Structure 1
Amino acid sequence: MKALLSRAPGGPETLVLEEVADPAPGPGQLLVRVKACAINYPDVLIIEDKYQFKPPRPFAPGGEIAGVVEAVGEAVSGWREGDRLIAMIGHGGLAEKVVVAAAMALPLPSERSFEDGSALILTYATSIHALLDRGRLQAGQTLLVLGAAGGVGLAAVELGKAYGARVVAAVSSDEKAEVAREAGADATLVYPRGPFDKEGSKALAQLFKDAVGPNGADIVYDPVGGDYAEPALRAIAWEGRYLVVGFPAGIPKLPLNLTLLKSCDVCGVFWGAFAARDPKANAAHIATLFRLWDEGKVAPKVSRTWPLEQGAEAIAWMAARKAVGKLVVTVG
């Protein structure tokens, strides 16, 4: 089979497409023929050895897949050859075949495409955990979403609306603002690109404040970080919740006096660890996501696809922060 491999730390240009032996499923595992693999920001980090997990090389990046069961390992029930599924696997998805733990696989409804299926879990499960568990979102509250046209950003916009929030979407271009409005955002703002000096940071804070209104944002959903974080925190409401989701713009340092003045919470969001520590709660969220998908309240937006041999380009697109919605590599 073919696989796009990382053999040494580096950017997308270091990935190589190679022929490797087919994997075989062990006990409790499924052999899956990959049909689609969504690209996420961890794929940028993992090949540079900057992610929380560093798999032994060589490995294929790609942690979110959809495909078809090709073989079933021992001690597996409920799955058979030909079944369609989606799964979060950490890495290994940019390959024609991959072994998946049966316990981590979810059935993909026949009416859903492999591309959309591969684009669902990571962004929406992260966002529903962030908004409900960490942000304690309530109907009528104001939600400010940074990076609102990216994968997790759009998921947060849709879920915020599904739970009755007033959603303010902050993005970096007019094109992305239109995408956020189509996803249901009540208001949008286009922020300038950083880095910002002191005056620039102050101006951005005012932009956020004007957009969320005089009472501030009850929840700030921040998958961007960098110089955008402090201005967003300055626009938070009394006893608001600032959700730390990601750092493509850099890891910020927040002035903690602001948290005292606003009596607000700064909440880390690590969905992967949450799912491992509380699988029952995560399963309940996943069931809710499938229901909202059926009701048309959420829908993965796949804006671009690449074939496997061009998978490095998809990761480069993500690294350059060009992604609108989800990027997907199709396989086979």
Structure 2
Amino acid sequence: MNAEQLTEVVLPGKVEPEELRIRHGAVPAPGPGQVLLRMEATGVSFAEQQMRRGRYFDQPPFPFVPGYDLVGTVEATGDGVGRGLAGTRVAALVKVGGWASHVLVDAADVVPVPAGVGAAEAETLVVNGITAWQMLHRKARVRAGQTVLVHGANGGVGSVLVQLARAAGARVIGTASARHHDALRARGVTPVDYRSGNVAAQVRVLAPGGLDAVFDHVGGPGIIDSWRLLAPGGTLVAYGTAATRDDTGSQQLPVLKLLGRVWLWNALPNRRRACFYNVWAWRALAKDRFRARLRADLTEVFAALRRGDITPQIAAELPLARVAEAMRLAESGTVAGKVVLTP
């Protein structure tokens, strides 16, 4: 380990992707309860794209190392950590710090990656898989025979969500641009072109009785349409937008507006429900329960991958040194799946 060198990507401020910095240093040693992961795959998600603009809620002050999640091999363990973890491939959700060759993580936060699953494949399903699984099964509690709408069905979370919903026996309608429709149809999803006009009207034709669940990452005025599309007993799950700030850097006003709407909708006697989803929402209040649920749910996601319920979507694999190119590609809106970074 002494011969190795730490390589990490630093986000120095609100900069263009080309202004991200590569920094080298000594490989850290794990402290009590920690493991040192040698990163095999990390990725560019919605969170890092917003952090680059200073728009992600609760991001650390600049400069810092981004990287929401990663997959790696346990290279060293700290005091109090069972030696059985050493040499195993694991996944971890870290929020920041993943864009590095070596990452320190609490041992309680790692989840074993099943044998036969590649690092890049597993990486596409860490934050995206946990988000999709928890929204589908813990928030909306979708059952076989129900009809759901997934906005951004070709995106990182959306592509996993539609596959898990189909595996649960649900009928799925998904919004995406026309170039992604054939891929959605191949997965049993009924596509709707969000660029071709009134999406709500198109969905009503497909589901005249209303929807059992709507998953909306867009927010804004369109969230009212998402609510109105629900059938009695249906659930609207809003995500993504609640974790970002507006163009002025303020998160308070848009979130307060959304909270007010959700409170009002839930107070109405119409047997419909609206909720936010954020993977970190209650970690500070119940850390042990949060960890246990995260481990259980990511284990379920990996099991679904092994069963063939999910096909990982790797948009591209690029080395960490080409992070600017990777971020540009992820932000281009031209790719399906996740852009993965490797050492």
Do the two structures share a fold, i.e. TM-score over 0.5?
yes
1:219 positional shift: 0.3
Cα offsets for 1:90-149 (capped at 9, x unmatched): 111111111111111112223111101111121111111111221121211111000000
In structure 2, C-alpha distance between the alignment counterparts of 1:184 and 1:75, rounded to whole Å = 47
Match of 1:121 in 2: 126
Q: Does 1:54 align with 2:59?
A: yes
- On the 8 A contact 1:4/1:94 being kept in 2, the answer is yes
Match of 1:204 in 2: 199
1:161 positional shift: 1.0
Cα offsets for 1:34-72 (capped at 9, x unmatched): 111022101112233322222244322111111122211
Alignment of 1:245-264 (within 5 A): 245-247=239-241, 260=268, 263-264=271-272
1:232 positional shift: 2.7
Q: Does 1:316 align with 2:319?
A: no
In structure 1, C-alpha distance between the alignment counterparts of 2:94 and 2:265, rounded to whole Å = 38
Match of 1:145 in 2: 150
Stretch deviating more after TM superposition (8-17 or 154-163) = 8-17
- On the 8 A contact 1:3/1:95 being kept in 2, the answer is yes
In structure 1, C-alpha distance between the alignment counterparts of 2:154 and 2:46, rounded to whole Å = 14
Stretch deviating more after TM superposition (281-290 or 219-228) = 281-290
- On the 8 A contact 2:49/2:331 being kept in 1, the answer is yes
Please give the root-mean-square deviation of Cα atoms over the aligned residues, in Å: 2.5
In structure 1, C-alpha distance between the alignment counterparts of 2:124 and 2:76, rounded to whole Å = 24
Structure 2 CA distance for partners of 1:116 and 1:5, relative to 1, 3 Å: same
Match of 2:20 in 1: 15
In structure 2, C-alpha distance between the alignment counterparts of 1:227 and 1:12, rounded to whole Å = 30
Structure 2 CA distance for partners of 1:249 and 1:31, relative to 1, 3 Å: closer
Structure 2 CA distance for partners of 1:296 and 1:274, relative to 1, 3 Å: farther
Q: Does 1:290 align with 2:324?
A: no
Cα offsets for 1:250-288 (capped at 9, x unmatched): 769677787748542111111223566333333332232
Alignment of 1:1-332 (within 5 A): 1-171=6-176, 173-185=177-189, 187-192=190-195, 203-211=198-206, 213-247=207-241, 260=268, 263-274=271-282, 277=286, 278-279=289-290, 280-331=292-343
- On the 8 A contact 1:226/1:249 being kept in 2, the answer is no
Cα offsets for 1:212-258 (capped at 9, x unmatched): x2101110011222343233333221231111012389769677787
In structure 2, C-alpha distance between the alignment counterparts of 1:249 and 1:75, rounded to whole Å = 39
Structure 2 CA distance for partners of 1:258 and 1:24, relative to 1, 3 Å: closer
- On the 8 A contact 1:12/1:44 being kept in 2, the answer is no
The one-letter code sitting in structure 1 at the alignment partner of 2:138 is: D
Structure 2 CA distance for partners of 1:151 and 1:27, relative to 1, 3 Å: same
In structure 2, C-alpha distance between the alignment counterparts of 1:204 and 1:261, rounded to whole Å = 26
Structure 2 gaps of 5+ residues are 1-5, 247-253
- On the 8 A contact 1:154/1:183 being kept in 2, the answer is no
1:182 positional shift: 3.0
Stretch deviating more after TM superposition (43-52 or 224-233) = 224-233
In structure 2, C-alpha distance between the alignment counterparts of 1:34 and 1:134, rounded to whole Å = 32
In structure 1, C-alpha distance between the alignment counterparts of 2:220 and 2:143, rounded to whole Å = 28
Percent identity, aligned pairs only, is 31
TM-score by length of 2: 0.84
TM-score by length of 1: 0.87
1:165 positional shift: 0.7
